[in-house]
Each structure stands twice: as structure tokens, then as C-alpha cells.
Amino acid sequence: MTDDQRGRPMTAAGRGTDGLVVETSHGPVRGSDDGEVRCWLGIRYAAAPVGELRWRAPQPPQPWREPADATRVGPVCPQPTDPRIPLDLGAPQGADCLSLNVWTSSDTEPGAGKPVLVWVHGGAYVLGSSAQPLYHGGVLARSGDAVIVTLNYRLGPLGFLDLSGFGDGFETNLGLRDVLFALQWVRDNIAAFGGDPNRVTLFGESAGGGIVTTLLTSPAAAGLVSAAIAQSSPATSIYSQERAQRVAGTFLDLLGVGRDGAHRLPELPTAAILDAAKRLFDRIPRQTPGMLAFAPIVDGDVVPAHPVRSAREGRSLPVPLIIGTNKHEAALFRLLKSPLMPITPQALRAMFETIAAEQPGLQLPSPEQLRTVYQGRGKVPGMRVARDVGFRMPSIWFAEGHSQVAPVYLYRFDFCTPMLRLLRLGAAHATELPYVWGNLVQGPKDPTFRLGGLRTGRAVSARIRARWLSFAADGVPAAPSAPRWRPYTAADRATLVIDAEDHLVTDLDRPIREAWGGEVLSFG
């Protein structure tokens, strides 16, 4: 027998009576306990997507009988590396990557019925992993108020490329299907770890937030999620199948197999696929500013219609939702010199022209309307326009729709440290993540608190974590000694501004909301 962390058996002597061995639907797993937190890492929830399964919906793994070592994270899903985004992924890449991690407080007993928080990481649908140190669930779990789950899902062309028009053997929205499969695993197994399968909050940021808002309009997610939190969701970055298949054709050309060679894809080296993915990832937003190379699509199956439009028509799942963005979202993309957000006047103009050409009846805001709201030396400041068209307005549009069927809590994250202010980042994209997870200092090279702010940052983190955990427990995001957070309604559009001190604002976004109008702006 082997000692492998990923669902392969250990020796029979590994089975114990200390609560670290948990029986799952596929086999027993043995975790670890540091005296405060128990964790089970690298639990395989699906078979390795290799060979004929590479572009297929996830399948159950082969069952095992002896306790699998769940003390180490599993492989990271294959992805191109980008020196502009030096992420610590937490583990080496590998094809056998469909795994998840579970954290609980050490005193949690099986059947305890605690609320469950399931995390979906971000990374533009092409980067990231559940093993990133930032997403270590120990701080959140230590309170004892919830069971924390983080998961991997397929990325880039392996998870979000629609090849279904190029032959048999290809299915759509594989990354979404992976998340749904993991949620089914949670439903079937989380009680054994002390979680309540009827209280599962799906939360995620950036692309992970986009997965959250997308699945909130998917019938396939019904019964798997009782609440949701979408942080900086690019909710409108969901494309038609026609557009997606044009992108897939370009990918096949870049790969060198041509559009008649898709049948070769299951056996091609992963390195070749990732190389083509990197080139496509860079090319698409330059050719069509504002568009991502890889993203969920409207396939009529997992995603029956555009999510924002579904929400505005009252067809989202009736579960409570926290949704919001950061005050200076686009600053990170400027720092990284990333083409993912159209910041320059030329890029913004090209984006608006493309949308107008695709949807001639759509009422776009005029340059004069935008200048009225975005004051800035005689021209429209691209950073704020990009922030609002990419993140803020999609979140508002989704919130307005979803509030018809369930309580919605809208926020804006404004807190930043003196160092982030000096670096002209402010409350940039992803800067709220350390506060949500309670992992405030990411190693000795982390500059965030070098000019101070750690004491206040810890207080901000405590409030956010309290609100997120309270929301997971009963759908109400409360925090001790903090303002009551009212639901977002058409009557007052209450918005929580998260800063050194939280404060509730009525209709915070009125100027931009009126400038952009009531029609949803997105690519077709």
C-alpha cells in the first residue's frame, strides 16, 4: 500500500479512534489536528480529468478502503504562469487536481450541524488554487462557528473553453461543473465533518465571485446552496456560445492542430495546451478590450441564460446574497500592467464600439453623461470607468434583480493601509481577501502594514469575519458593536461601506447608477 495524500490507501494502522479518520462516500480520510483546528487536505472529490476525461464533466473517483492521508494539499490545477502575477499557489501543478480541503475547530463533532462556507478562488478563470496560503481556513474555523471548505476546479482551456462545436468528447462549462460536483460532495459528506448540508454558503472573489453569481441562476445548483457571497464578481463576463466557439477556434489555431484537429486534444501534452492558453489569454483582451479569453458561457444547460438578465427577471435561486466590490478595483490591473481591464481611453472606446455593434438597440451612456460623473481634467478617468463597467455596475445590476427573490446585502470595501495608499493601490481588487480570511500578513516580504495600520486592520478583519460567519449561520450579516446592515431594496438601496469604521449609506451609487442607466452592458 502507498502513502499518498490523494485518496490512495495508507496502511491499515492509519485508522484511528481520535476523530481524525472520517468516512466519506469514496473512502476514509485521515486529517490532522494542531489542538485548535482540525483539517483534512487534498481530498479527491472527482477522478483525475485525464485522457478521454480531459474535456468531460467530472466523474466520481475510484473508491478506496484504507484511510487516505489528508494532511497535505493535492496538486494545483494546470495553469500558465505569469510573472506579472507572482502567486504562491501552495503546491505543484498536476492533472489529478480535483480536490478540496476541510477545516473545523478541534472540538467539532460529527453531526454537529455547523454552517458550512465553501470557497471558490479567483484568478480570471485561468489562475489560482485552493491551496494558496491566503486561503488557509484555520482562522475562520478556529472560532468554532463554521466548517470551512476550499476547492480546486479546472481552469483556462481545461475548464472554460467551449469545444463542443468541434466534435464529440467535449462538454461545456467544465469549471462550473467541477464546482457543482464538489458541492454535491459537500452535501453528501460534510455532516461527517460536523457541517450542516442544509446550510451551505458558497463564497468567492473575482472569477470565483463570477462563478457564485452564475451558479445562482443555474437550476443545477438548486438545493446545493442555502446562501451566497460574491466578492468583486465580473457578473456580466459571461458569453454566448457563438462567441465562445470563435474563441475556441482561435485556440485550436494557436495550438497548431487546426479546427479539424480537435480530436487530438485529449492526448496532447499539457505544456502545449498551457502555452496556447497563455497566448490566447494575452491576445483576446487586446483584440477586444473588456473581454476575457476564458469564462463561463450560456450553454442552455448549466447556464440556461445570461446570469444578470436571469436575476433581473426574477429567475435566480431564492437564497440570501452578500455582494459587493472594492473602491479602487482597477488599481491592481494598472499596477500589473494587465490588459484584462480597459483603462485607457482607446481601450474603453473600443469596448463601447464593440458592444454597440453587437447590440445596436442598446442605450449606451454618452461621453457627456460619463464626464458629469467621472470628473477628471477634461476627460473620462479610465480607472473609475473600468471599475464600474467591470465590477460595480454588474454587482448592482445583479443585486437589483436578486433582491426580488431573496434578501441582498450590498457592500463596498474602502479600507486601505498607509502603504497601499502610498503605492496608489488603495482598496484595490483582492485587497479585502486577507481581512475575510484573517490572514493579514502574507510572509516577511508583505509590505501591506509596513507604515502601520495593523491594529485597525485586525479590527476590520474581525468585523468582516463576524458578518460572513453570521450570514452563513442564519442569513443575517451581523457583527458585534457594528452598524446593523439593512438589506438592499429599491426603497433606500442600503450599502455597507467597510472601512476603519463601518457605516451604512443610503443609495451610495446613485450618481454612477443614473449615468450608466438601467440596461445591462455586456458582450453578446
Residues serving a catalytic function are 206, 329, 429
Cα(33)–Cα(468) distance, integer angstroms: 24
- Torsion on CA atoms 445, 449, 455, 458, rounded to nearest 10: -60
Least Cα distance to 464 among 510, 512, 427 occurs for: 427
Paired sense of beta strands 195-205 and 227-231, if any: parallel
**Can you tell me the distance from the alpha carbon of 276 to that of 251, in angstroms, rounded to the nearest whole number?**
7
SS3 66: coil
Residue 141 one-letter amino acid: A
CA separation for the pair 524, 512 (Å, rounded): 23
Task: Tell me 119's DSSP state.
Answer: E
- Cα dihedral sign, 443-447-452-454: negative
Asked whether the beta carbons of 295 and 239 are under 8 A apart, the reply is yes
Decide: helix, strand or coil at residue 416. Answer: coil
Kind of pairing between the strands at 195-205 and 114-120: parallel
Q: Quote the CA–CA distance of 118 and 148 in Å, as a whole number.
A: 6
Q: How far is CA 411 from CA 222, 396, 462, 466, 507, in A?
A: 25, 10, 16, 15, 11
Are the beta carbons of 401 and 236 closer than 8 angstroms? no
Residue pair 390/329 in contact (Cβ under 8 Å)? The answer is yes
Q: Of the candidates 302, 523, 488, which has an alpha carbon nearest to the alpha carbon of residue 411?
A: 488
DSSP string, 241-292: HHHHHHHHHHHHHHHTS-TT-GGGGGGS-HHHHHHHHHHHHHHHHHHSTT--
Which residue is it, cell 451551505? 200
The DSSP-derived string for 178-238 is HHHHHHHHHHHHGGGGTEEEEEEEEEEETHHHHHHHHHTT-GGGTTT-SEEEEES--TT--
Measured CA to CA in angstroms, residue 460 lies from 148, 271, 362, 464 at distances of 20, 42, 41, 6
